[in-house]
Structure 1
């Protein structure tokens, strides 16, 4: 019987990068950037509501709310009344938040490119397509 592979390797990569990516982005940007600011900015870019941000961060709503409050205080996000329901609050990125998000995405792309630079172009593209597909399926799962 053949051993199935993929799961352990995926989570080994997740563990490895989850401890490094935001810290490295924060370290390459403004000294006032903290790791959690990078994480919040990434989550806000995907959804503007606290529940969705909490889901993206893998924390409960109260923790997400505190993290958002700190990102707002640092100038990376703002809270606004929802255009759909004034009783609800949405979160959006400021210009500084967008700059941090862009820096994060540049760093992520640089890392990906350097990790697969020795691969054949077709393999790089296929792997990127599979990652995009997996991310879309996981991120949209709620």
Structure 2
């Protein structure tokens, strides 16, 4: 590949652009406050099964979701994830219970409010994708979506 034909710089330009912009916009629209983007991140991490991009509900997962799981899925250390989980529990998005497999660990699950936030977040994500690709031909949108899905699946594997 010659320079300009590879996707690396374009990917990171997009990541830099969206990482600074989506958080406030999504948080304000979905939680009503700018500072609560971490609730969306935690709800997504808890709801995501072994394949993060597919975001299968935890009920379909075979293993309990723990703070360690959230830390791994969000790329955080355990203490940072623990604080975010604590805040999401206090906000009513998660329930923390003792793990059935290991009494020393806490398992996490979404509350009804957490499920509602997840549904709203997914709608927001789909709407954002549609807005960003509105001028594209439908087959290009589908192809790009499938490539994004593939990349997210590979990264989350």
Shorter-chain TM-score above 0.5: yes
Q: CA deviation at 1:55?
A: 1.6
Q: 1 CA distance for matches of 2:145 and 2:31?
A: 29
Tell me, in whole angstroms, the C-alpha distance in 2 between the residues paired with 1:19 and 1:41.
20
TM-score (norm 2): 0.82
Structure-2 separation of matches of 1:70 and 1:30? 13
1:114 is matched with: 131
Taking structure 1 as the reference length, the TM-score comes to 0.89
For residues 49 and 94 of structure 1, the distance between their equivalents in structure 2, rounded to whole angstroms, comes to 15
Q: Is the 1:40–1:68 Cα contact (8 Å) retained in structure 2?
A: yes
RMSD: 1.7
Q: In the alignment, what sits opposite 1:20?
A: 21
Contact kept, 8 Å, 1:25 with 1:103, in 2: the verdict is no
Larger RCO, structure (CA 8 Å, separation 6 or more) = 2
| Cα distance in 2 between the residues matched to 1:97 and 1:11 | 30
Could you tell me which residue of structure 2 aligns to residue 39 of structure 1? 41
CA distance in 1, matches of 2:38, 2:31: 14
Task: Please tell me whether the aligned partners of residues 30 and 121 of structure 2 are also in contact (alpha carbons under 8 angstroms).
Answer: no
Match of 1:5 in 2: 6
Conserved 8 A contact 2:38-2:84: yes
Q: How many residues align?
A: 140
Q: Write out aligned runs for 1:51-70 (5 A).
A: 51-70=68-87
Which stretches in structure 1 are left out of the alignment for 5+ residues?
none
Contact 2:40 2:118 in 1 (8 A): yes
